[in-house]
Structure 1
Amino acid sequence: MITSNASLHKSVDWVIIALYLALLVCGWFSVCGASYTYGEPDFLGMDTRAGKQLLWIGCALGIGFVLLMLEEKLYDLLAYIIYGAVILLLIATLFVGSDIKGSHSWIRLGGGINIQPAEFAKAATALALAKFMNTYGFSLRRRRDFLCVMGLIFLPMAIIILQEETGSALVFFSFFLMLYREGMTGAFLFSGVCAVVYFIVGLRFSDVMLGNMPAPVGKFVVLLLIQLFTAGMTAVYTHRRDVAAWMAGGSVLLTLLTLLFSAYVIPFDLTWVQLGICVLLTLVLVYFWLREHLRNFLYITFFTLGSLVFFYSSDFVFAHVLQPHQKVRIEVVLGMKDDLSGAGYNVNQSKIAIGSGGLTGKGFLNGTQTKLKYVPEQDTDFIFCTVGEEQGFLGASAVLLLFLAFILRLLVLAERQTDRFGRVYGYSLVGIFLFHLFINIGMVLGLTPVIGIPLPFFSYGGSSLWGFTILLFIFIRIDSARKRLN
C-alpha cells in the first residue's frame, strides 16, 4: 500500500517539512557546539556525537520518507496493533532494559546503540486515541468512553514510571490538551491547575508562619483557596449565584473573624477553622444536591473533598514517595534550598552559560562554559544553553520563534482536518511538542524542575529524534489525504 509520488507532492504540506528541516539543521549545529572539544581533529567522525547525530538525522529523514510513502489508511487500520506492540515492548524493557543513570528504559542493540521505547510510545498512544475517538457514537461525556481514553493514556504512562523514567511519563499529560479540544469539560483542566497550585503553595510556604500566630501560611492559603474555588464552581456550574455568594462571603467573614481573634485575643492554629469551613461547605453542597437533585452539586462536593485529600496527602507523597534527588530538584526550583554544588548545579551552570552569551553570543564553537564541560548533559537535556551561549539572546530568540512557527503551523494543520482521526492525532502532536518545549526551556532557565526530557530535534540522541520524526510524518501523511477523504 504505497502512494504515488506525484499525488503526494501536490498534497503534502511543504511548509511544515521546511520548518522541520530548519529545526534539524539548527539542532545539529547545536549538538556540534555542545559536544565539540578544543583540539579535536575530526569532530564529524562516527566516534563523535556530532558525527553520530548526523547519522541519526539521515536515518530520521529515511524514516520520514517511508512514512510518507505508506497509505494513510494503514495508520488507522494498524493503530491498535502498533499500540499493543509498543506496550509489550515497554513491558519487556522492564526486564531486559539496561540501567542507564538510574533508569531502566533503554534497550541495548549492540555497537554502542541504545533505543528508548518510551519515545515511540507517544506516537503509538496518539494513534490509538485517534482510532478509538473516531469510532461511531464516541462521546467523552459517556463514562465508558472516557474511562477507556484514560486507560489508553495511563497504561503506557504507568509502565514508564516503573522504568523509573518519570520525565517521559509526565509527557502523557499533554494529551489533555487534545481532550479539551474534543469536548472534555474545563473542570478537569481547572482541577489539574488547582492541584499544581495546592502543591506549590502548600510546600513552598509550609514552614512560614502567619505573623505571630501558630498557623502555616501554606496550609492557610490553600484551604482558603479551596473554599473560594468551591464557591466559584458553584456559581459557574449550578447557576445558583445566591448560594455561591453566601458560601464565599461566609468563608471570608469567618476567616477574618478568627484571624482577628487569633491576632489580638488568643493565638491558635487557624488552619483547623479553615478545615472546618471546608467541611461545612461540603455539607451545604450535599444538602442542595439532595434538595434540588442537581448532579453538579455532587460533582463540586467531590472536587472539594478531592482537593482536601490531595493537599493533605501531598506532604506524604513528597516526603516518602518521591526520590531524594526529585525532592531536592523541586526544592531548588521553588527557592526553598540553594544546592549549587548538587541538584542545582546543572541549572546554575546553564544560566551562567546563557547569561554569558549576551546579545549576540560568543560565536559557533566559542562557548567557554560548554567547551570546558561546565554544564552536565549540555548536548541532551540542557542543549538550549549552548544556543544561548554561542548565539546569544538574538539566536535563542530566533530558535524560539522557529519553534513558535512550527507549533502554529501544526495547529493550522490539526484544525483543518476533515475527520476526527486526523484532528485528534494532530492535537495530540501539538500537546506533546508544547510540553517538551515548555518543560525543557523551563529546566534550562530554572523555571521548572529538572525532569530530563529532550528538546525536540535539538537534543542529541537517535530515539528522541526518531520518535519526534515518526510523530510528525505520520501526521503529515494523514493531512495530505484530507482532500481525498473529504
Structure 2
Amino acid sequence: MTSNRHNGIFEGVDFVTVLLYVLIVAAGWLSITSASYDEGAADFFSFSHFYMKQLVWIGAAWIVAVVVLLLDARVYHMFAYPAYFAGLAMLAAALLFGREVNGAKAWFEFGSFRVQPVEFAKIATALALARVMSNYSFSIGRPGDLFKVGMVVCAPLLIIVLQNDTGSGIVLGSFLFVLYREGLNKWLCIPVLLIAALFIFSFLLSPMTLLVSLILVCTLSEAMMNGLWRSRIVYLASLALAGILLCLVSQLVAPGVLDLYHALLIVTVLSLAAVAVYAFRANLSNVFITLGLFVGSLVFLPTTDYIFNSILKEHQQNRILSFLGIINDPQGVDYNVNQSKIAIGSGGLWGKGFLEGTQIKYGFVPERHTDFIFCTVGEEWGFAGAAVILSLLCLLILRLMRMGERQEEPFGRIYCYSVAAILLFHVLVNVGMTVGLMPVMGIPLPFMSYGGSSLIAFTILLFIAVRLDASTRQFSMNKI
C-alpha cells in the first residue's frame, strides 16, 4: 500500500553519512586551528586567522548542503550537461585570465578571496559521466559509447594539464574505477596501469633490463591465461631462448656492429611475427591482446623522455626524481616530505596533544594547514588519532559505495561511485605524499585541508550523492 506521508527535507537522508561528514569537518577545523594558531596573537577570534576563516567556510558549506538537499533529485540529471559545459568554460577562463599560484594558472582571485575552478569541474564531470552512462542505449562494450566517455573525461583533463595543474588532472583518472565497476573490459584498464608503470620504471631500469622484463611479464601472463598454459609456455620460452642465443651469436660473429640491447630488440620484433602466426593458427585471440600491449609498450617507451623533459615542469620533474630516490636534496625538493615524516613520526602512539606539536607550531612543516594537514593529525593525535581519521574517511567512502549499490537508477549508482572514487584518490595521494609513499602533487585532504572552494566543492559533491540516495529511499518507503 502507498504511504501518504509528507516528504520532508531530511526524509530518506543517510544520517550516518552526514554524521561522518560532520566529524571529519570538525576534525579538520581542529587541525587547522592547531596548525595556524599563534600564541602571540592578541585576539583569538580575529578573522585574520586561518581557523576563523575556515569556520566561516564551514558555515557556508552547511548552508550549501541544505540547499543541495532541498533541490529535487531530477535537477541534477537535467542540468548535468549544462553544468559540465559551464565547468569547461570556467577551466578555460582560468587558463586565459586566472592567477598563477605555485606554478599553476588555475585560480580566480577576487581581492583576498580565491577560487579554484577545477574543484567544481570534478563535480560537473561526475554528473556528465553519470548522465552519459545512464542513457538507455549506452553500452560500455560499444566503441562509440566508450569514446563518448573518454571525451567527457579527457576534455577537462586537457585544460587542467595546460594549466600546469597536473596533480588535479590525475584525479580524473579515478573515474577508471567507475568504468571498471560498470563492466569495462579489464584488458582496456590494463594499458592505463601499464603506461604508468612503464613511465616509472623507465627511470629506474636500463633499456636492456626493461625490455627483458617486458618479455618475461608478457610471456608469463599469456602462458597462464588459459588452461593450455604448459604447452604455450614451452613454445614461448623456446622462442625467447632462441632469441637470446641469436643475440649472443651476433655478438660473437659481428662484435661491435650491434650492442646486446639492439640485437635483442631486433630479434624480439622478428619473433612477434612468429607468435602472431602461432596465435592465428591456434585461434588464440588473447595472444593478440598481449601482443598489442607489448607492441604498445615498445612504442610508448621512447616517448617517456619527451613527456618528462618537455611536458613536465622542473619542480614536477624534481618531485618524481626525489620520490624514486634518483636525487637527494634534503634542503630543497625533499624538505617538505622529510619534515612531514619527522612530524608524523614524533607523534608516537598517542600524540603530543592539541596545540603541542613542535614541528607544526614552529613552522618546520610548510603548507601544514593545507596540503600537509595530515602532519598535524599525526604529530598531535599520534598513530591512534591518525587511524581514527583514516577510519572515518574510509567509512565515508564505503558508505558512498553502499549508497551506489542501492540505487535503482544507473545515474545515481554511477554518480555515487564517482564520488567514492574521487575521495579515495584524494585520500590515498594526500596521505601517501605526507609519509613519502607518493610524490608531492598538491592535492588537498577532503573536508580537512584549509580552503573555502575545496570544502564547498567537496560538500556539494558529497551531498548530491546524499540527495540522490534520499530520493531512492523515499521512493522505496512510499511503496510500502
TM superposition score normalised by structure 1:
0.90
Match of 1:230 among 208, 218, 222: 218
Larger mean Cα displacement after TM superposition, 247-256 or 348-357: 247-256
Equivalence for 1:91:
92
1:315 aligns with 2:316: no
Instruction: Report how many residues are paired.
Output: 470
Deviations along 1:2-40, one digit per CA (max 9) or x if unpaired, are xx9844423110000000000000000011111112322
Equivalence for 2:119:
119
Q: Secondary structure at the match of 2:11?
A: helix
Match of 1:352 among 342, 349, 352: 342
Deviations along 1:298-331, one digit per CA (max 9) or x if unpaired, are 4433211111112222123223332111111111
Structure 1 segment 61-460 matched on structure 2, within 5 A? 61-110=62-111, 112-205=112-205, 218-232=206-220, 234-235=222-223, 241=229, 244-246=232-234, 248-250=236-238, 252-254=240-242, 257=245, 269-288=259-278, 291=281, 296-460=286-450
Q: Secondary structure at the match of 2:350?
A: coil
Equivalence for 2:13:
12
One-letter identity of the residue aligned with 1:168: S
Deviations along 1:320-352, one digit per CA (max 9) or x if unpaired, are 332111111111111111111111111011111
Contact 1:123–1:471 (8 Å) recurs in 2: yes
Q: Secondary structure at the match of 1:106?
A: strand
One-letter identity of the residue aligned with 1:460: Y
Contact 2:108–2:116 (8 Å) recurs in 1: yes
Deviations along 1:64-94, one digit per CA (max 9) or x if unpaired, are 1100010000000110011011111111111
Q: Secondary structure at the match of 1:105?
A: strand
Higher relative contact order (CA 8 A, sep 6+): 2
1:467 aligns with 2:457: yes
Q: Secondary structure at the match of 1:10?
A: coil
Contact 2:27–2:448 (8 Å) recurs in 1: yes
Contact 2:222–2:287 (8 Å) recurs in 1: yes
Larger mean Cα displacement after TM superposition, 90-99 or 282-291: 282-291
Q: Secondary structure at the match of 2:444?
A: coil
One-letter identity of the residue aligned with 2:150: M
- CA distance, structure 1, for counterparts of residue 48 and residue 383 of structure 2: 32
Return closer, same or farther for 1:274/1:464 CA change in 2, 3 Å cut-off: farther
Larger mean Cα displacement after TM superposition, 361-370 or 193-202: 193-202
Deviation at 1:226, TM superposition (A): 2.1
1:21 aligns with 2:22: yes
Equivalence for 1:36:
37
- CA distance, structure 2, for counterparts of residue 102 and residue 13 of structure 1: 40
- CA distance, structure 1, for counterparts of residue 395 and residue 431 of structure 2: 16
Larger mean Cα displacement after TM superposition, 225-234 or 153-162: 225-234
Return closer, same or farther for 1:425/1:243 CA change in 2, 3 Å cut-off: farther
- CA distance, structure 1, for counterparts of residue 239 and residue 45 of structure 2: 66
Residue segments in structure 2 that go unaligned for 5+ positions in a row: none
Equivalence for 1:213:
none
Return closer, same or farther for 1:407/1:278 CA change in 2, 3 Å cut-off: farther
- CA distance, structure 1, for counterparts of residue 180 and residue 341 of structure 2: 35
Q: Secondary structure at the match of 1:435?
A: helix
- CA distance, structure 2, for counterparts of residue 20 and residue 300 of structure 1: 44
Q: Secondary structure at the match of 2:61?
A: helix
- Percent identity, please: 42
Larger mean Cα displacement after TM superposition, 284-293 or 327-336: 284-293
Q: Secondary structure at the match of 1:418?
A: coil
Deviation at 1:251, TM superposition (A): 5.5
Q: Secondary structure at the match of 1:481?
A: helix
Larger mean Cα displacement after TM superposition, 193-202 or 287-296: 287-296
- CA distance, structure 2, for counterparts of residue 299 and residue 16 of structure 1: 42
One-letter identity of the residue aligned with 1:228: L
One-letter identity of the residue aligned with 1:423: R
Deviations along 1:342-381, one digit per CA (max 9) or x if unpaired, are 1111101111111111221111111111111111111111
- CA distance, structure 1, for counterparts of residue 178 and residue 119 of structure 2: 19
- CA distance, structure 2, for counterparts of residue 260 and residue 391 of structure 1: 60
Contact 1:255–1:274 (8 Å) recurs in 2: yes
One-letter identity of the residue aligned with 1:221: T
- CA distance, structure 2, for counterparts of residue 70 and residue 364 of structure 1: 39
One-letter identity of the residue aligned with 1:414: G
Larger mean Cα displacement after TM superposition, 188-197 or 101-110: 188-197
Contact 1:174–1:431 (8 Å) recurs in 2: yes
Q: Secondary structure at the match of 1:329?
A: helix
One-letter identity of the residue aligned with 1:115: V
- CA distance, structure 1, for counterparts of residue 84 and residue 116 of structure 2: 15
Return closer, same or farther for 1:240/1:378 CA change in 2, 3 Å cut-off: same
Contact 2:106–2:117 (8 Å) recurs in 1: yes
Deviation at 1:95, TM superposition (A): 1.6
- CA distance, structure 2, for counterparts of residue 372 and residue 286 of structure 1: 64
- CA distance, structure 2, for counterparts of residue 143 and residue 485 of structure 1: 35
RMSD between aligned residues: 2.6
Deviations along 1:273-316, one digit per CA (max 9) or x if unpaired, are 44235413432344356557766554433211111112222123
Contact 1:258–1:270 (8 Å) recurs in 2: no
Larger mean Cα displacement after TM superposition, 175-184 or 252-261: 252-261
- CA distance, structure 2, for counterparts of residue 259 and residue 41 of structure 1: 77
Larger mean Cα displacement after TM superposition, 259-268 or 159-168: 259-268
Contact 1:231–1:244 (8 Å) recurs in 2: no
